Amino acid sequence: MDLIIVESPTKSKTIQKFLGGKYEVLASFGHVRDLPKSTLGIDLENNFTPKYVVSPKARKRITELKKKAKTADNIIISTDPDREGEAIAWHILEVLGLKENQYKRIAFHEITEEAIEEALKNPRFIDMNLVNSQQARRILDRIVGYKLSPLLWKKIAKGLSAGRVQSVALKIICQREDEIKKFVAQEYWTISAFLKNATQQTFEASLIKYNGQDANKDLLQKETAVQKILNELSDVTYKISKIEKKEIRKSPPAPFTTSTLQQDASNKFGFSAKITMSLAQELYEEGYITYHRTDSVNIAATAIENARMFIVKNYGESYLSARVRRYKNKSHLAQEAHEAIRPSHCENTPQSLAKKLNPRLWKLYDLIWKRFLATQAQEAILDVVRVDVTAGNCLFRANGQTLKFDGYLKINPLKLKELAIPELKEGENVFLDKLIPKQHFTDPPPRYTEATLIKKLEENGIGRPSTYAPIISLIQARHYVVKNKTRQFESTDIGEMVNKLLNENFPEIVDINFTAKMEEELDEIAENRKIWTDVLREFYTPFVKQLEQKYQSIKKEPAIQDQVTEKICPNCGGNIIIKFGRFGKFYACSKFPECKYTAPLESPKLDIKCPKCHTGDLIAKKTKKGKIFYACSRWPDCDFALWEKPINEFCPQCNSILSENAKGKIKCSNKNCKFIRTE
């Protein structure tokens, strides 16, 4: 019997289902070896040789794999088709002690019977270029993390850590925060005219020119300028001067890559990149979608053919694109051999899987299925009209659009604002109903959401498909950034301080272009155009020299000194001070460790006594990941806590305190009580 080794038990079950009894499919449960956690694990004096160790949780599994390998006719390694998967395959071979003639390596981009059989017909050996690229990334990140982090401990606070790519993401967020702080809002106005034609149908037109000048923010900056124009418009004739009608065709967007899937799932469902990748992993391993870590928009010819046949059969010939639609990769770094994310079989419609998949899995699958199938559908056709209206020295314009043929929108509905303009003729007069001047103020640049941050990273060549989710998760786990109520990232005090130190003293480490160049060099290693140890040496030699200098020259950040306040500890009556830790500033009792009272700076008391101990006060607190909860000020002596904000009222059914959720609903905080206020 042949032995096939994959990473996950889900993947092994799916493959076993297709192959039957000739093969035994077992899982390694991910990485079997890695660098040690307690030491650097790299021999810097010996060509950056990594000192890999077997993880304790993998030892039992390795013993089982070794036992099975001894009796197997053939050993086939079938880990994921990317650098990480190639590295896992290599580590498996190393721990099993297998040589080149003792194994086969297969890879496929979708877990289907056809793809697996094709891969088994075309085995290969481990691609050490891919392995070395992954090793170089891992060692680079380990060097930066293990060498820079102690500097942060010494100069800012214990427990902090620095990351090569994560620090760049932090810099991007901090830069945006600086832009927002420096932003000064500018006043401007717009003027809209609501007009009627001869049959009393109303339409809206906006002022676009005055005396031949563009009616932009500069022209309409002050109310006085607006009032002057309004005065002139009080007694003029409104006349249709020009009507332009045309038909425009709207093409479907490209199928998903890792980045665009994460962005869309964030925008539409509020999924974090980490959640999206976890769900996509499950869909892939169960055979529903192709491999989900990709930066390519390529589509296999057979998949295109199947999609086109499905469209004709289920939507009709009129919905099929006249030509096969292919998409070009925007990034020159995209791996052309990879495919976009798509369903493994078009016949697995979202409707057919509604009862098989849990709600979140179904949502993501529905998104992927519709986006892919629409790529081969006919364009949507819109009728667009532009109407110019002259009024004295002013030119107004009305724009309208209506959907003539839905095309691919039938399959993948997207938000499309339709606005009908009534029937008008050039040269006819229209009648003013009302003029609406409106004051505006320019907005500061928006803070980054997960979607916009991923887009920014991708545009600048920072990270790769497999790294976006870990990058974002790490800067949150380290409490360098938090998400606000609108799911936008804000830098914390500690994040600002780390960014400041790195930016001032290690500008290359957090330089966007430098980091992008490193990514390109990792790609060149994968393509056998650079030697991985040379890339590491070019980075490490100047880095370690600079690090030694900075240990001596950087002064300890003064902001970490304890600050005395006038507040009194609610637990023991001692003085409250402001301390600084790895998660930023916080209130603490000066009598620590005898008194362990702490509270976040931004956590006001709610003027509500704790309903459990009736002694402490309820205050807002934050978890390490920045999520707000409400707890007794006497913690840990009293462990009362709620996720939703309590109000100073009590349940008429069970007498537990009432709470208010994010949507403003008042309900009982007792999970066993179903009371919800309806008035």
* Catalytic positions: 291
Helix residue ranges per DSSP H, 164-272 = 166-182, 223-232, 258-269
Please state, in angstroms and rounded to a whole number, the distance separating the CA atoms of residues 540 and 109: 36
Amino acid (1-letter code) at residue 222: K
What is the amino acid identity at position 250? K
Q: For Cα atoms 534, 540, 543, give the angle at the middle one, nearest 5 degrees.
A: 145
Is the distance from CB of 606 to CB of 625 less than 8 angstroms? Answer: no
CA-CA distances (angstroms) from residue 185 to 334, 338, 443, 448? 40, 46, 6, 19
Going edge to edge, which strands form the sheet with 75-77?
23-27, 2-6, 75-77, 104-105
Cross-strand partners of 579: 586
Residue 404: exposure state from Cβ atoms within 10 A (0-12, 13-18, ≥19)? middle
For the record, the structure tokens of 20 come out as 């039957």
Distances (CA, A) of 498 to 6, 10, 606, 625: 40, 40, 32, 17
Please give the single-letter amino acid code of residue 114: E
Q: What are phi and psi of 179, to 5 degrees?
A: -60, -40
How far from 430 is each of 66, 89, 197, 231, CA to CA, in Å? 86, 74, 5, 19
Classify residue 288 by its DSSP letter: S
**Nearest Cα residue to 344 out of 527, 68, 108:** 108
- CB-count exposure of residue 349 (10 Å: 0-12, 13-18, 19+): middle
Q: β-pairing, 2-6 with 23-27?
A: parallel
Residue 372 contacts residue 256 (beta carbons within 8 Å): yes
| Residue 16 near residue 97, CB atoms below 8 Å | no
**What 3-state DSSP class applies to 3?**
strand
Nearest Cα to Cα of residue 168 among 485, 480, 439: 480
At CB < 8 A and 24+ separation, what contacts does 569-575 make? Answer: 569/595, 569/597, 570/597, 570/616, 570/617, 570/633, 570/634, 571/595, 571/597, 571/616, 571/633, 571/634, 571/637, 572/597
Residues linked to residue 377 through DSSP beta bridges, in sequence order: 320
What residues contact residue 451 under an 8 Å CB cut-off, 6+ apart?
262, 263, 264, 266, 267
Measured distance CA(517)–CA(513) in Å, rounded? 6
Written in H, E and C, the secondary structure of 395-409 is EEEEEEEEEEECHHH
